[in-house]
Chains A and B, each alone.
Chain A
Amino acid sequence: MSEAAAAGSPGRPSPRRLLGSVGNLASVPITLFGLVLVTFLIGRAVPIDPLIAVVGDHAPPDVIARTRVELGLDQPLYVQFWIYLQHLAAGDLGRSVMTQRPVTADIARFFPATLELATSAIILAIVVGVPLGVVAASREGSRFDHVVRVVVLAGQSIPVFVIGLVCLLVFYADLGIAPGTGQIDVIYEGMVPRCTGMLVIDAMLDGQWDAASDALAHLAMPALILAYFSLAYIARMTRAFMLDALGAEYVVTARAKGLSRTRVVWRHAFGNIAVPLVTVLALAYAGLLEGAVLTETVFSWPGLGQYLTVSLLNADMNAVLGATLVIGLVYVGLNLLADLAYRLLDPRTR
């Protein structure tokens, strides 16, 4: 996509300038390869002998020798990498030392909870954040704009886990209006048949309305907190894009045509930033994966983030790397989607 096509009005930078997207389509396989390579190298950089992790400290020497050959640890590094790639292609991420299950099974089990959290958060963030950004930009300098800027600033500066703890303190302990940690109350645990892995949906599908509402109540606080941080980012970018768009010549034309303010702001200015904004939204969703790690720890949410941190504390490298790889893949996928959406939706690139 040419730089000129992505350019804004004279003197204004292309919104593409700052989007660290994955680049054009041809580079995706290379990026994926690099991802896998980096993950593999991290795994081999562990000072703990992975052999010990598998057989334990007190295994006899012949077991050690045999396992070493089995795991391929006696081979040179590039051969090990090739074996690793073969395993990956077969969908084998190794076995978790902690749960003694294949890592892929673990991830399949825990990922939907993170998905549930992240998706609820992003929907809230978009629905509130985008209009906030648009209105703030159209009323630049007003009190409303200042409030939005404060909200954005706070969202960029507050650590998410601190807010999580404070919210638990205030809303759960002090005011008692929010349920505690975890995905659902103890009494409902195990009662909802697993279908999608997302408890609220599964409970609704099964007709267990009280379980569903309980799950929803548990989802509310972590989702709202994550949504706030995402919202801050989305509102900030929307506002920045809109300020650029509102200063463009075509907005003067639109006003000169005698169009209503609403139409000028939404149909003309917003219409022009909608496409780069989609890219921002994809990045925001990817960023939620990071926030989820911390939020899940605070709220004991049984998702991939918590799986990752628990594996870290147990030095379960297979699990850590497996989870890292999966998250990295999702990240790449989202960036790719954003890029594709940009190409498809912007009439200048068709």
Chain B
Amino acid sequence: MSATAWLLTETPASRRQAAWGQAYRRWLQFRRNKLAMAGLIAVLVLIVASLAASLLALQNPGAQTLADRNAPPSAAHWFGTDELGRDLFSRVLYGGRITLGMVVAVVALVAPVGLLVGTVAGYAGGIADRVLMRLTDIFLAFPRLILALAFVAALKPGITSAVIAIALTAWPPYARLARADTLTIRNADFVAAVRLTGASSARVVVRHIMPLCLPAVIVRATLDMSGIILTAAGLGFLGMGAQPPTPEWGTMIASSRDLILQAWWVPTIPGIAIFVASLAFNLLGDGLRDVLDPRQR
């Protein structure tokens, strides 16, 4: 039996076959969406470029050649040089690494915590639910950037503080999403059946409810990543994120802002990089949403 036939069979013989089949069907559906595929490819390129930055960057991003400042794009410097004569192409590549690292760090912190809080609140109900939801509301009550700014100001400006600050403001929507899904699922018959077999609450939540909340969380996380990229860049631009000489895209724009008139490519190219990265995640997220959780907006 060919692999495709095995995956697409209407009568799967095992749970694993059914799971693989469902994943394959979803992949086929995703593949049909051209924009989503473009987003996926862009994200993959971004990841590869960031990981291979040290290989792809032809020059040292920190090497200053003051004689060659603000040079336009040329064969020697593909994106030109910045205000201190550093190669812009290498800096953008390394900046990609930083941005991606920050985004992954935030999501890795935020999604599990949000998922846990949401499922526990939704499943336990009662006081636990109320307390956790009030906590969620408090953090939702701040506009993200503002609270992140306040946090970063209290700690030392830098990448770590920025990541923590963004994470602190980004987790509430995941909790809400997970809770909403949990409330729907926990009344389902199969949950009652599992409990009748003696499963503990923890087991029910972790093994049965959480996996069903995952699609919504994944979609949200991917879409969020574009927002996190923008927030991180915003923090950098305001001087509250990565500090110079670290080649974070927002920081790069801030330090070269005055050059917008003479050497417009110096602040603009990192800006385009931010746009492309954010757009890629948006397209990917939209595509994932259509496949995994079409009811989400």
B279 in contact with A153 (CB, 8 Å) = yes
Interface 9-residue window, one of B68-76, B83-91, B172-180, B188-196: B172-180
The reply to whether A157 and B226 form a contact with Cβ atoms under 8 Å apart is yes
Shortest Cβ distance from residue B195 to the other chain A in the assembled complex, whole angstroms = 23
Q: Is the CB of B264 within 8 A of A38?
A: no
Q: Residues of B contacting A313 with CB < 8 Å?
A: 239
A42-B154, A165-B271, A294-B234 known; A328+B146 contact, CB < 8 A? yes
Beta-carbon contact of A22 and B137 below 8 Å: yes
Contacts of B279 in A (CB 8 A): 153-154, 157
Asked whether A30 is an interface residue with its Cβ less than 8 Å from the other chain, the reply is: yes
Closest 10 CB pairs of A and B: A34-B138, A162-B271, A157-B279, A157-B278, A290-B143, A324-B150, A240-B297, A13-B295, A45-B154, A290-B145
Give the chain A neighbours of B257 by CB distance below 8 A: 165
Q: In the complex, are the beta carbons of B230 and A23 less than 8 A apart? A: no
Report which of A30, A159, A289 forms a contact with B278, defined as CB distance below 8 A.
Answer: A159
B155-191 residues with Cβ-Cβ distance < 8 A to A are 155-156, 172-173, 176, 180
Number of interface residues of A (CB under 8 A): 57
A39 & B141 in contact (Cβ 8 Å cutoff):
no
B137 touches which of A27, A154, A158 (Cβ 8 Å):
A27
- Cβ proximity bits A274-316 to B, threshold 8 Å, 1 near / 0 not: 0000000000001101100110010000000000110011010
CA A35 to CA B142, docked complex, whole Å? 8
Per-residue B-contact encoding for A1-33, CB less than 8 Å = 1, 0 else: 000000000001100011010110001001100
Q: Is B283's CB under 8 angstroms from A153's CB? A: yes
A158-181 vs B: 1/0 string, CB under 8 Å?
111110011011000100000000
Q: How far is the CB of B115 from chain A (nearest CB, A)?
A: 16
Residue B221 at the A interface, CB < 8 A? no
Contact of B261 with A159 in the complex, beta carbons under 8 Å? no
Interface membership of B296, Cβ < 8 A: yes
Asked whether any CB of chain A lies closer than 8 Å to the CB of B233, the reply is yes
Would you call A173 and B141 a contact (CB within 8 A)? no
B117 at the interface (CB under 8 A from A): no
Answer whether residue B140 sits at the interface, using C-beta atoms and an 8 A cutoff.
yes
* Interface residue? A131 (CB, 8 A): no
Known contacts A23-B137, A157-B230, A308-B149, then 9 further A-B pairs from the complex at CB < 8 Å, ordered by chain A residue:
A20-B173, A27-B134, A27-B137, A45-B154, A156-B226, A159-B234, A159-B271, A173-B260, A309-B149
Query: In the bound complex, what is the Cα–Cα distance between A45 and B151 (angstroms)?
Result: 9
A237 at interface, CB cutoff 8 A: yes
Alpha-carbon gap, A11 to B161, bound state (A)? 42
**B292 contacts the other chain (CB 8 A):** no
For residues 221 through 271 of chain B, which have their beta carbon under 8 Å from a beta carbon of chain A? 226-227, 230, 233-234, 237-240, 250, 253, 257, 260-261, 264, 267-268, 271
Residue in B closest to A161 when the chains form the complex, CB atoms: B237
Given contacts A18-B296, A294-B237, contact A34 B146 (CB under 8 A): no
How far does the Cβ of B268 sit from chain A's closest Cβ, in whole Å?
A: 7
Q: Does A115 contact B (CB under 8 A)?
A: no
B residues within 8 A CB of A157?
A: 226, 230, 275, 278-279, 282
For residue A320, CB closer than 8 A to chain B, the reply is yes
Assess the A42–B234 pair: CB atoms within 8 A: no
Question: Which residue of chain B lies nearest to A311 when distances are taken between CB atoms in the complex?
Answer: B153
B35 shortest CB reach to chain A, Å: 9
A159 touches B146 (CB 8 A): no
In the complex the two chains form, is A294's CB within 8 Å of B155's CB? no
Structural contact, A328 and B141, CB atoms closer than 8 A: yes
Say yes or no for A46: interface residue by CB 8 A criterion. yes
Q: Is the CB of B268 within 8 A of A287?
A: no
Question: Which chain B residue shows the least CB distance to A289?
Answer: B143
Q: Does B133 contact A (CB under 8 A)?
A: yes
- Give the distance to chain A from B83, nearest Cβ to Cβ, in Å: 15
Q: Give the residues in chain A near B297, CB-CB below 8 Å.
A: 18, 236-237, 240
A98 to chain B, nearest CB (A): 13
Bound complex: CA A168 to CA B237 (Å): 16
How many whole Å from A89's CB to the nearest CB in chain B? 19
User: How far is it, in angstroms, between the C-alpha of A27 and the C-alpha of B137 when the chains are bound?
Assistant: 9
Does any Cβ of A come within 8 Å of B144's Cβ? yes
B202 interface residue (CB < 8 Å to A): no
Contact of A331 among B143, B152, B227 (CB under 8 A): B143
Q: Which residue of the partner chain, among B142, B150, B261, B283, contacts A169 with CB atoms under 8 Å?
A: B261
A47 at the binding interface (Cβ < 8 Å): yes
Chain A CB within 10 Å — which of B146, B237, B279 has the most?
B146
In the complex, A18 Cα to B179 Cα: how many Å?
11
B153 partner residues in chain A, CB cutoff 8 A: 42, 46, 312, 315, 317, 320
- The reply to whether the CB of A332 lies closer than 8 angstroms to some CB of chain B is yes
Name the A residues within 8 Å of B56 (CB-CB). none
Residues of A within 8 A of B180 (CB): 17
Pick the most buried of B138, B155, B230, B275: most chain A CB atoms within 10 A of its CB: B138
B135 at the interface (CB under 8 A from A): yes
Contacts of B282 in A (CB 8 A): 153, 156-157
Task: Give the CA-CA distance A39 to B142 in the complex, in Å.
Answer: 10
Given A47-B155, A47-B156, A240-B297, A159 contacting B275 (CB threshold 8 A): yes
Q: Would you call B274 an interface residue if the criterion is a C-beta within 8 Å of the partner chain's C-beta atoms?
A: yes
User: How many angstroms between the C-alpha atoms of A68 and B8 in the bound complex?
Assistant: 73
Tell me the bound Cα distance from A165 to B261 in angstroms. 10
